[in-house]
Chain A
Amino acid sequence: MPQIRNFSIIAHIDHGKSTLADRMIQLTGLVESRNFRDQILDNMDIERERGITIKSQAVNLPYVNSKGEEFELNLIDTPGHVDFSYEVSRALASCEGVLLLIDASQGVEAQTVANLFAAMEHDLTIIPVINKIDLPSADIDQVREQIEVDLALDSDMAILCSAKEGTGIEEVLEAITAYIPPPEGNVDQPLSALIFDAHYDPFRGTIVSLRVFAGRVRPGDTIRLMSTGATHKVEETGIFRLGREPRDALSAGEVGYIIAGIKTVSDTKIGDTITQDADPSPSPLPGFREVKPVVFSSVYPVTSEDYQGLTEALEKYKLNDAALVFQKDSSAALGLGFRCGFLGLLHLEIVQERLEREFGQSLIMTVPTVEYHFTLTNGETLSVDNPLYYPDPATIEKAMEPFIKTSIFIPERYVGVVMDLCLERRGVNSRFSYPTPGRIEIQFDMPLAEVIYDFYDRLKTVTQGYGSFDYDLLDYRKNDLVKLDILVNGERVDALSQIVHRDRARSRALNACERLKEEIPRHLFKIPIQGAIGGTIVARSTISPFRKDVTAKCYGGDITRKRKLLEKQKKGKKRMKMIGSVAIPQSAFVAVFKADNK
């Protein structure tokens, strides 16, 4: 029997996680080089393009170490973004150890630290790996020092590698077998298995990724999902190699999948415990919670005829993304649509992009917002995640908004600009620490609403790419919140309304007016754009009309050229949303929430 090791790789974005995984897969001979492609675990186009992992993924690597002992190494690849921190925590809960990957030239970053803490919470063995040692700018000594001082880990343990060049990979695999403890767990106890992910397969239904902690599961068993009590009959159990590889059973300590006639991934909950219906485990595994969306936005089809198509696309998409929640919504400006909840802004962007790319939808998304809490004068409390339902200001006793704790890592020289940025975004209660000479960690309490727009982009800009950022939800705090409306040609466009802090309302409004002025094409008439709080106009801009738009010549009999141009313009116009008599392009709705880009 091969020994088992369950591990994950954690790293700050771009530190080379996918490349290291690729190399390990290659070295263990799981895939022949000629069939190999980069980022082999990132199946989705969008993952490859953005260089991030969105879904957790497991792969079972057969490996014989230098002593000739046989192993099965289960690599659980985790998403690399704070939006998916709960998924990451469930993946980590399925492991006994992690490789903490650090870029030799970038050093320790915000997510390195956040990831380390997450691994420590799960009491995992941590093996520091210094990657990209082939880079001319690699500073191994500096990184070793950071590992000692900043992470309080033993830097002698650190393994040097270059995943890109393929050096040091053998050492990494050896370290996994040597340092990461084998899984514990009793096969004779009742089944207790942790769901760390689920994928949808159009032929087989939901493929549940799990880690078995106790007992055993076999085809034919009737299993029970402990959070819902739902039962299913297991059709297949197996492990992940390059594809699925059926096995007779999955036993305590093992990582693999089950197929059990579960229709959609939403019928499973990440973090839930699977047990035998006949002989249940007395208690579920710890750490389960319902994933709650924190960012909300409405999605509308560009033309109302596409509503049915959007409905179907969302339902299909949802099969594979349990984190997305949506319900019917309607807007005076945009017609029928859906109110959606996301794990964060990246999640939102991913959903939008995949709906457009994989399902061919043309979407309009409204300004993302967080969930606000209002206490009314009559004592009632109200949760509002849609500006449409902002209560009558006269009845508001108290308005609360969610705060986060941000932690930002930067080289010292950027302290000034980052402080300015955070203060501008209503950051309070700043703390500093100096993990290593020349580097600073700044912590702020900040409204989540200020971060979901473009904070990360701005941070990257002001720090020339050197800043890194991570956050945790903190609490709800009282603030002076108002609803900002945008009027186009005198008509309020409800889809452009946002709830903002009073102090920020004017600058947001100005920004929205300017951005809309850039995005909305000129018309035959003048179009005023206004930002208003209640009845007060706080900002305005004007789109001037065409003064002249005609070409002198229709070239001889070549009418075709003229018509083709018109057809193209007509098509473009069809993709715009008519608000009264103004055609607003899709991009305008996006531009408004990508505000403050200057």
Chain B
Amino acid sequence: MKRGKGTLWLGLALLLVLALALAACGGKAETGQQTEGNEVVLTIGYTESQTGKYNVSSSRQVKGLQLWVKQINEAGGIELSDGTVIKFKTVSYDDESSKDRVQELYTRLATEDNADFLISPYSSGLTAAAAVIAEQYGKVMITTGAASDSIYKKGYTQVFQIYTPASRYLTGAVDILQKADPELKKIAFVYEDSKFATSVVTAAKDYAESKGYEVVLFEGYAPDTTDFGPFINKIVGSGAEAILGGGHFQDGSTFARQLHEEGVPVKFVALLVAPPEPDFAELGDAAVGIVGPSQWEPQAQYTPEAAQKLGIEWFGPTSKEFVDAYVAEYGEEPSYHSAGGYAAGLILEKAIRAADSTDPAKVKEALDAMDVLIFFGRIKFETAPEAHGLQIGHEMVYVQWQKDDQGNLKKEVVWPEAGATAELLYPKP
């Protein structure tokens, strides 16, 4: 017995030594850099949800990123002061919208493919899984399509967020409601049980309660819910006058459709993620009046002049240039996911230019110091260790689907009022 234990311990010790030795080998970080003359090709690694529930949003995000890669390479890359010309290539895999796959694949990107920089997958849940790997292998990762705050409160140092964090996602909807109807008091929160939606509505609920609203229903639904009947019955039973919540595209659009079919008598509905998507218009009449926060809209007023007013630097194309290039490339309008993908590449480019180097440590420093206005909005990262990488510069805009005089559906910006393209349609028809 005793001897058996001794052998076990010996075996364990051997394994440990072996693991350490392997880690030491891996530690001599190879990079994917390929050098030819003065041209360096950097590898950008990411995963795409080609299958599974994040398919729609993820593929748009990747299209945005790929457009940036194509443009920067066609423009001859980035030239550093020492004459080095940097070009980019990408390595990507299908993560099947699954966390397990993400961890497996980002490990592969970091070790086998030797990616120099990482871009996050789509969604907060998947990005949280990828962030662990990025941090473990010391790779700078720009996150896009990932708004949850908690990812950036784990002490990571290599992860940088492009999106406005979840805690500021729906608070604007409460402001809109207060402006539109000071009499209204009862709000129902019905949201997807996911990392992202839960952190959004928890913050929005606190905010609403601080403004004197009564939260009459606060309940999550499973991410793959297709039948909202029970929730709709609860909403009607609770006497709610406004609904805030949603989660991602599929559940959000189904929820909106069923709210319309059952003629739920509420005055205001604001849902996450789904409404800003161009495909939301396929709901027809069910889309009319639905409000949604958006990270970016083509009409948004971010210009070089606005940068001057803020006293910060402007970088990259204007919204119009981005939209035109995107439409020319893919034959469809970009959504905010597309813009986020492009912005992730653009911010990486800006950081490499500012660092004047491909050294990850210098690029990280440049990201820490960044305060810039791009077509996507202002980008500035928190540098305090307790929330390092959290986005603090960017603001949400709110859209609402309305009908124009010919009866065609149109997406209008209704908030903030300074950038609004139309009056809020209230109450919702």
Q: Do A and B interact?
A: no
Interface of A toward B, CB cutoff 8 Å: none
Interface of B toward A, CB cutoff 8 Å: none
